[in-house]
Structures are given as structure tokens and as C-alpha cells.
Amino acid sequence: MECYEGAMMIKTFRGQLADGAQDTIVLHTNDGSTGYRIVKFSMMTPDPSENAESVIKIYKVPQAAVDAVIDFSDQTLLGAGIITQSSTSQSNPEDQTIFFDKDIFNQDIYLTLKGVDNTPSINYYIELEQVKLDINSNTVATLRDMRNTATPLP
């Protein structure tokens, strides 16, 4: 079920993450009536002659620790990508595996990068479709995001 009134514009974000880093893409608004969904997610190394084995993940909530484990049961995970590249591309060319959820969110998102073996910085590019949320969708998205960020009781 689609939970928005109509499609709007595409917003793009790009940057470079260092190994172990976390970036914030600020999306929240005062009234929560603007939603987003990922429509494109890609990545590349800054230097094609470098070795790379890294994982980029996109979350709905900030991460206390950055790791390379991808857990599809994590409801705060919006997307993930694995990039591998060999400086000797004849035997091991660059390869990527990328997935992203079509979930609509109305709060900030967080990108993390963790290298597995070779850990250069990685460039990322994200396209988000901006959608106008009706009052019911706004409430659902906001409450879901609040639940995802709530600290569990002891």
C-alpha cells in the first residue's frame, strides 16, 4: 500500500566516507509532512588503482558502532552495499552488490562505512524521492521512527 499523496522531486546526496565513519543526511522537518524513499544508491572508490573491500549501510537511526555485518532483520536498515575492487583488475575487477528498501521515512538517515580487508575511503551517491505525506502517513512514519530510536527500558 502506498502511503503518500503524490510524488514530488528527486533530491541527491553525495559524499565520501572514511573507514569506520558515519555521515548524517539531514531530512527531518518541523511538521514531518515530507517523506522520502531511496530510488538510487551507488558507490565507487576514489582511485581505481586501489584495492577495496568495504560495506556501506544506510540506517534510520544513528549507529553506536560501525561494523561490516549486514542483518536484513534489522528494521532500521534502509540499504546496504558491498564493494570489492582489485588494483590488478585483470584478475579481480570491481564488483558491487547493492540493495535498498522502498520504505518511506521522514527523519534523518545515517550512512556507515566499514572496510573488511582493504579499507580506502568510498564515494557514495543517493537519490531520494521526496513525497508529500498525508496526515495519517505522517503519523505512521513519525511514530515508527520514534519507536526505532527509543531506548529500551531496563
- Domain architecture of the chain: domains with CATH: 6-149 (2.60.120)
For residue 47, the model assigns a pLDDT of 86
For residue 129, the model assigns a pLDDT of 95
Q: What string of pLDDT tens digits covers the 154 residues of the chain?
A: 344 455 469 999 999 999 999 999 999 888 888 999 999 999 988 888 888 889 999 999 999 999 999 999 999 999 999 988 887 766 666 677 888 888 899 999 999 999 987 778 999 999 999 998 877 666 566 666 556 655 443 4
For residue 150, the model assigns a pLDDT of 53
Q: What pTM was estimated for this model as a whole?
A: 0.81
For residue 154, the model assigns a pLDDT of 43
What distance in Å separates the CA atoms of residue 26 and residue 31, rounded to the nearest whole number?
Answer: 14
For residue 152, the model assigns a pLDDT of 45
CB-based contacts of 27-32 (< 8 A; 24+ apart in sequence): 27/105, 27/106, 27/107, 27/108, 27/109, 27/128, 28/106, 28/107, 28/108, 29/106, 31/138, 32/106, 32/107, 32/133, 32/138, 32/141, 32/142
What distance in Å separates the CA atoms of residue 53 and residue 121, rounded to the nearest whole number?
Answer: 10
For residue 50, the model assigns a pLDDT of 83
